[in-house]
Amino acid sequence: MHLENFIFSFILIFALSLFSFNLWKIVRNIRLGKSKNRFDQPLKRTIILLKVAFGQTKLFARPVSGLLHAIVYWGFLVITIGTMEMMVDGIFNFDRSFGVLGGFYNLVTISGDVMAVLVLVSCLIFMFRRLFLKIKRFSGKEMKKLSSIDAIVALVIIVFLMFSLLTMNIGYLALEHAEIVGSYPISKHFVSLISNWEISTIILFHKVSWWTHIMLVLIFLNELPYSKHFHVVMSIPNVYFSNIEHLGKMDNMPSVTKEVKLMMDPNADPYATPAADAPPPESFGAKDVTDLNWVQLMNAYSCTECGRCTSECPANQTGKLLSPRKIMMDTRQRLKEVGKNIDKHGKDYTDNKSLLNDYITPEELWACTTCNACTEACPLNIDPLSIIMDLRRYLVMEQSAAPQELNMMFTNVENNGAPWQFPAADRLKWKDE
């Protein structure tokens, strides 16, 4: 092994170890959530995964930005194969080691060369939109300046990634190997720009491009856990484990459902006591992130902050305080805070803060109309409504903190069996008038 390969191997192991450590902490945080069965119907989930995650179908509701984002995503899928090849080459001092794949390798290199240009152009357009066009969904009280900087930094890294990939291919072709491995339909047209250089200069040009590209890959990889762009990693599992039932169907709480059935059963014993081995009653709804389930916490880490949910929210459009994007961002921020407390003080530490009230206010929650527009609009099938509903349940069932209008309705249902203030015997009196 040459010194250069040893240095590369050390850098690669360090970078992958750092990413794995940060990934482990995120998985640990997600596992703080309650259990939730999302391992059913694997075939249906796989079909949805292929359509929504790999096919990017929900993004095409906005055709222009959707196509550009799909190009970036598909480009990364293709270019990742080349990145894996570079890692193998860097460790073992090979050159184009995947060339043994023959025709498939030619297809990969053609796709990678073309997609590099398309991704480069797409990212430049995204940068222009970010910097010079006032896109409404990019703004909002939850959108701090750091979020915009995060987006620009990621786009700059991707631009240089694609540029270094193209210059690496150009340098490879200019070296005039006895046999060129792969096919490069775009890069070959730029070889003439450096073909007159000294061979030592071309070798240096190729080597600098190679190192620049692979180092940017490793830097970008380790920037992801600290960025909203972590959805690059989370999108596939998040879509696979997303809700595949009808969006209008809401989960009932088993403990409450059982009590209601007992109340409606004329043969039930009203004085029956719970079984000796029955678990103690759990709290109703959610106050903090540890009261949510693991799918909801994974949703929070998967949020891209794109704002499609908030832009479709009727409550937000009419000036209400609710922003579904903020719900997801607040959940993620609180979960990160809980994770840091665990790292610093241990799992049993409490900071006397909670997701409800300290991050998300009741006013935001009660502004929601439960229309599911946010979930329908999300390109990753994130479900902000489920979090809103669980927080609402806590307000109503644990704190009796429902708005006055709801409390009146609850009282009417309890006394009259209907939301209205008059008894059942008087309901048909209107027909006598």
Q: For 281-324, write each residue's pLDDT tens digit.
A: 678 899 999 999 999 999 999 999 999 999 999 999 999 999 99
pLDDT tens profile 141-194? 899 888 889 999 999 999 999 999 999 999 999 997 768 999 999 999 999 999
**pLDDT classification of 28: cutoffs 50, 70, 90:** very high
Choose among 175, 224, 178, 167: nearest CA to 200: 175
Q: Distance (Å, rounded) from C-alpha 71 to C-alpha 55?
A: 11
User: For the chain, which domains are there?
Assistant: 3-30+62-231 (1.20.950), 254-267+281-416 (1.10.1060)
User: 313 near 323, Cβ under 8 Å?
Assistant: yes
pLDDT tens profile 244-291? 988 878 888 877 787 777 777 767 665 665 555 556 667 889 999 999
Chain-centroid distance of CA 29 in Å reads 15
- The CA dihedral of 333, 337, 343, 348, to the nearest 10 degrees, is -130
pLDDT of residue 1: 63
Q: Which two tokens stand for residue 240?
A: 């696979």
Q: Distance (Å, rounded) from C-alpha 376 to C-alpha 345?
A: 39
**Per-residue pLDDT for 31 more than 90?**
yes
User: 71 near 118, Cβ under 8 Å?
Assistant: yes
- Global pTM reads 0.91
Q: How many residues does the chain have?
A: 433
pLDDT of residue 279: 63
- The CA dihedral of 144, 150, 151, 152, to the nearest 10 degrees, is 110
Q: Distance (Å, rounded) from C-alpha 177 to C-alpha 195?
A: 13
Which has more pLDDT, 281 or 375? 375
Provide, rounded to the nearest whole percent, the portion of the chain with pLDDT above 90: 76
Our separate counts of H helices and E strands in the chain read: 17, 0
Q: Which residue has the tokens 């109703």?
A: 284
pLDDT of residue 94: 92
Mean pLDDT over the full length of the chain: 92
| Contacts with 159 (C-beta within 8 Å, 6 or more apart), sequence order | 120, 123, 124, 127
Average pLDDT of the residues in 394-410:
90
Q: For residue 175, what are the CA distances in angstroms to 195, 203, 204?
A: 8, 7, 11
User: Phi and psi of 34, rounded to 5°?
Assistant: -75, 165
Determine the 3-state secondary structure of 304 from DSSP: coil
Q: For residue 27, what are the CA distances in angstroms to 225, 293, 321, 335?
A: 11, 13, 31, 11
pLDDT of residue 413: 84
Chain-centroid distance of CA 428 in Å reads 52
Residue 360: beta bridge partners? 356
Provide, rounded to the nearest whole percent, the portion of the chain with pLDDT above 70: 96
Q: Determine which of 37-41, 64-68, 177-181, 189-193 has the lowest per-residue pLDDT on average.
A: 177-181
